[in-house]
Amino acid sequence: MPRVLSGIQPSGDVHLGNLLGALQNWVADQHSHESFHPIVDLHAVTAPQDPGELRAATLRLAQMLMAAGLDPEVCVLFVQSHVGEHTQLAWVLECTTGFGELRRMHQFKDKSADVDFVSAGLFTYPVLQAADILLYDTDVVPVGDDQRQHVELTRDIAQRFNARYGEVLAVPAHRIPPAGARVMDLQEPTRKMSKSAGEAPGTIGLLEGPEAVRRKIRRAVTDSEAEVRFDRDAKPGVSNLLEILGAATGRTPQEVAAAYDRYGPLKNDCAEAVVELLAPIRRRFDELCADPAETQRALAAGAKTAGDVAAATMARVREAMGFLPRG
């Protein structure tokens, strides 16, 4: 079976963009792929985190991923910091990555703008991500569009490493879904929907109730025309609704556009599709919260399986690079 790996950060609550761009594809893949899904807590600490909140958010994210359909009996769900090889591989890959390459990363430019403290970890963040992927001989990395550049960098790093040290690392490809790869903020549809604290009117949280979902979609910004057409530049608001409805119902945004000629019915159907998608997730989440030990056990088992694979890769890397064995 081909191997899939994709991770998610435990910072802020999971939102509709995470679900449509990434998570729902992971859920679908887990039966046809050997799937690894780290909760990337080491990535989260590139910005300051309250320790108690990070601990709670990590467990809560695991519960959300399971509620959304990731089955820890089928895929490998684990916490990144439980597998020490992630940071070990990240270090040696940092020594195979160019400073200039990291300086070109869009996400670093975005995240380092307007903050008081830019950590060195934020700068080398994509190399840790490359280590996540390369530790598991990953074939495919299913992600939203914002991670495209990071996966391309991962390929470059793997190829450079292999050119220096022999064919040690598998070179992965990204997979970006035809709909849902770029879910935008409902109030500012030129900005991507992102994790944000509190009740943001432009973001739909995974656990949001039907009334809030309907209200937010009804109030989503569109435009003063009346034509339903998929055109991200000229009609970002309408295109976002088409993208959401498409991703929620397994269609392309263009196919959805052909079925509507007014905004009202498009908004209604979009809202109902999202409500239907989220309802079972909320139910299952509540069940999982009743027994946190079950989730903790699943994460421990996941870390064991992941750790075995990671240790084997790291042994290959050490040997290829010429580190003296401990003996």
Nearer to ligand TYM, 43 or 235 (CB): 43
Which one of the spans 95-103, 137-145, 234-242, 297-305 is the region binding ligand TYM (CB under 6 A)? 137-145
Nearest CA-CA partner of 271 in 213, 199, 207, 204: 213
129 touches ligand TYM (CB under 6 A) = yes
Contact with ligand TYM (CB under 6 A) among 141, 153, 238, 309: 141
Helix locations, the chain, DSSP H: 16-18, 24-29, 41-44, 51-67, 85-94, 99-103, 106-112, 120-134, 148-165, 210-218, 236-249, 253-258, 263-289, 292-321
Which one of the spans 144-152, 265-273, 281-289, 315-323 is the region binding ligand TYM (CB under 6 A)? 144-152
What would the two tokens of residue 289 be?
A: 């919260």
Report the Cα–Cα distance between both ends of the chain, in Å, rounded.
35
CB of 228 to ligand TYM, least distance (A): 21
How many other C-beta atoms can be found within 10 angstroms of the C-beta atom of residue 255?
16
The site that binds ligand TYM (CB under 6 A) totals a number of residues, namely 24
Cα 139 from Cα 172, distance rounded (Å): 5
Binding mask 6-45 for ligand TYM (x = CB under 6 A): xxxx-------xx--xx-----------------x--x--
Catalytic-labelled residue, pool 192, 216, 235, 304: 192
Task: Supply the angle between the helices 148-165 and 292-321 in degrees, to the nearest 10.
Answer: 40
- Annotated catalytic, 195? yes
Cα 124 from Cα 103, distance rounded (Å): 9
- Annotated catalytic, 267? no
Which one of the spans 3-11, 66-74, 96-104, 112-120 is the region binding ligand TYM (CB under 6 A)? 3-11
Binding mask 41-80 for ligand TYM (x = CB under 6 A): --x-------------------------------------
Tokens 């903020």 identify what position?
Answer: 185
Nearer to ligand TYM, 178 or 294 (CB): 178
Which one of the spans 70-78, 128-136, 213-221, 311-319 is the region binding ligand TYM (CB under 6 A)? 128-136
Cα 233 from Cα 132, distance rounded (Å): 34
Cα 227 from Cα 218, distance rounded (Å): 17
CB of 249 to ligand TYM, least distance (A): 16
- Annotated catalytic, 216? no
What would the two tokens of residue 243 be?
A: 């993208």
Cα 287 from Cα 273, distance rounded (Å): 23
Helix (H) / strand (E) containing 80: none
CB of 326 to ligand TYM, least distance (A): 29
Contact with ligand TYM (CB under 6 A) among 61, 62, 89, 183: 183
What would the two tokens of residue 95 be?
A: 């020594």
Contact with ligand TYM (CB under 6 A) among 27, 133, 169, 256: 133
Cα 96 from Cα 58, distance rounded (Å): 30
**Annotated active-site positions, please?**
111, 192, 195
Interface residues with ligand TYM (CB under 6 A)? 5-9, 17-18, 21-22, 40, 43, 129, 132-133, 141, 143-144, 146-147, 181-183, 192-193
